[in-house]
Amino acid sequence: MTHTAETHRARPWPGTGSATSRAAQDPELTPGSVFPLRRMVADELFSAAVAVIRRSPKAVLGVPFLAGLVNFGLTLVMMLVLPSSSYMRMLTDPGAFEDPDLALGVAADAGFLWVTFASSALTSLVIAVAAAYMVLPTLRAAYGLHTGMGQTVRLRLGRVGPTVVNLLVLGLILSVVALPVFFVAVLLLVITLFLGAVVVLPGLFLALCWVTAAVMYAPLTVVVERRGPFAAIGRSWQLNRGRWWRNIGLVALLYVILGLVFTIASMPLIVTVAAAELLEGSPVPGGEWAGFAVFALTELYGTVLTTLFIGVVGTVISLMYLNARIRQEALDVTLLAATDPVRLPLQSARTPADRLVPGSIEHLHEHFAEVDRGAARTR
């Protein structure tokens, strides 16, 4: 018998107590009500991402905004404990990069280089963790469930540490691999008097897209499937099986779209920086504070852009992850069957909807345990 998304509208999941009392606490599970719970093509993935954001805006935009605030706080801390004045000036003075003496001093300032590296690494780590957690509201939207910002964090609070470890391992591996690649690329550019850029630059972009596609599912499997740092990398590789070129093309499209959007979105900021430079060179009272005003505006504007970036990219990658599991493991069939009260009688041990992560290791174990119990009763 074939079941559509509408025929799989499940009854509320009961916990302890009667089904009637539980119905007042748990929302109805509606698979396929937010986006199609089946194999999706590229344009459907993007439209599904918009649907997920509309379904759970507090989670998809709130968690990235929180990440942006954390990065802003880290930047302020770096400014307070910086080992040299070069770091603060490079952050707050729009014209600092045009000062050759300052540039030479910065190049020889080991403290500045270490602080800059640490700040960039921490910022990237926070952004990557927030992007990985976008998989939770995405998977919950597969059952039509809303997800809040605090709820997203609480659902997998214990997986933050393993996710960070996984990202650090990925960063270390990619750094070791990237160094010789960039060395060879620069060598080719120098040897060919930069004529080789026609081949080198597209090659580097293709390599970037390939590496991104290869490892982008790893943090998500740590969060959802509770994989270890190294096992998650292998799992990400496995989920790309049979879809390598399609995923690479989709990643490339994502990079191009985001590049264009960020270029357009940065125009107001460029105008503001130029105005600040004019203010600093003018006798207008308060012009000396222009650098600090630009710094504050830049960080606020960057936080907003980071929020949108993490929300959109994290949700699209999460949908690609779900799509890969549907194609390889028929996860859509399992998720629909798990909400079918006809095939599976209501069980008092089922997870309440506010703690449910569809497709997670706990959800699948619970579902197949019910299948085994049902099979045992029919014998």
Average pLDDT over every residue of 52-68: 92
- Confidence at residue 257, expressed as pLDDT on a 0 to 100 scale: 85
- Residue 16: inside a domain: no
- Residue 9: inside a domain: no
- Residue 156: inside a domain: yes
- Residue 129: inside a domain: yes
Highest mean pLDDT among 119-128, 161-170, 261-270, 271-280: 161-170
The predicted-structure confidence for 173-210, as pLDDT tens digits, reads as follows 988 888 888 888 888 888 887 787 888 889 999 999 99
The label of the residue with tokens 């897209």 reads 209
* Secondary structure (H, E, C), the chain: CCCCCHHHCCCCCCCCCCHHHHHCCCCCCCCCCCCCCCCCCHHHHHHHHHHHHHHCHHHHCHHHHHHHHHHHHHHHHHHHHCCCHHHHHHHHCCCHHHCHHHHHHHHCCHHHHHHHHHHHHHHHHHHHHHHHCCHHHHHHHCCCCCCCHHHHHHHCHHHHHHHHHHHHHHHHHHHHHHHHHHHHHHHHHHHCCCCCHHHHHHHHHHHHHHHHHHHCCHHHHHHHCCCCHHHHHHHHHHHCCCCHHHHHHHHHHHHHHHHHHHHHHCHHHHHHHHHHHHHHCCCCCCHHHHHHHHHHHHHHHHHHHHHHHHHHHHHHHHHHHHHHHHHHHCHHHHHHHCCCCCCCCCCCCCCCHHHCCCCCHHHHHHHHHHHHHHHHHHC
Looking at every residue in the chain, the average pLDDT score rounds to 79
- Confidence at residue 60, expressed as pLDDT on a 0 to 100 scale: 94
By residue range, what is the domain housing residue 304? 26-378
- Residue 13: inside a domain: no
- Residue 5: inside a domain: no
If one counts every other C-beta atom within 10 angstroms of the C-beta of residue 371, the result is: 15
Q: Name the residue with higher pLDDT: 262 or 101.
A: 262
Average pLDDT over every residue of 317-332: 95
pLDDT for 112 beyond 70:
no
- Residue 17: inside a domain: no
The predicted-structure confidence for 285-302, as pLDDT tens digits, reads as follows 444 455 556 666 676 777
How many domains does one find in the chain? 1
- Does the model's pTM come out above 0.75? yes
Highest mean pLDDT among 196-205, 206-215, 341-350, 368-377: 206-215
Q: Name the residue with higher pLDDT: 274 or 43.
A: 43
- Residue 14: inside a domain: no
